Amino acid sequence: MRTARQILTESAVIAVVGASRDPGKAAHRVPLEMQRHGWRIIPVNPTVDALFGERAYPTLADIPHPVDLVDVFRPAADAVDVVRQAVAIGAPAVWLQLGIVSAEARRIAEEAGIDYVEDRCLIVERAAGGLTRLG
C-alpha cells in the first residue's frame, strides 16, 4: 500500500464523489484548492452539469477516461458503495475525506488490492508535503 503522500504524488486525475457547488462546503473548497495546485478534478455529482470548469458526471462509471484517485465527500454509510464503484472502474486508490471512516469500505479496497486512505484531508496532506503538480 502506498502512503497518502505517494498517492498524491503519483496521481494526476482525481474524481471527487460528492463534489459540491456550494463554496461554503469543504466538498467545494478542497477540490478547488487541489485544482489550483495542478491536479485535474473530475466532479461526480448527479445534480450538476459542471463544476470547477470540468464536466460533472452522475457516477464514477460515467467518467469516460481513467482516474488515478477517487476522493469521497459522502457519508460513511455511502462509502461502501463508492468504493465498490471505484474498484469496478479500476481506480488504483480511494481517499475518504476527514471524518469519514468505514471498516467495510476498507475491507473492500484491501481485498481488491487498491490503496485506501480514510479520515484525512487532501489539502492538509498536500500542504504538509509541499506537493504541487504545477510545473
The CATH number of whichever domain residue 101 belongs to comes to 3.40.50.720
Residue 135 belongs to some domain of the structure:
no
The pLDDT confidence band at residue 118, using thresholds 50, 70 and 90, is very high
User: Structural domain of residue 86, as residue ranges?
Assistant: 4-129
Give the CA count within 13 Å in the CB-facing half-sphere of 70. 33
| pLDDT above 80: residue 71 | yes
How many angstroms separate the CA atoms of 65 and 86, rounded? 13
- Count the alpha carbons within 13 Å of 9 in the hemisphere toward its beta carbon: 8
Our count of domains for the chain comes to 1
Q: What is the mean pLDDT of residues 80-88?
A: 98
Mean pLDDT of the chain: 97
Average pLDDT on 48-74 reads: 98
Does residue 135 register a pLDDT over 90?
no
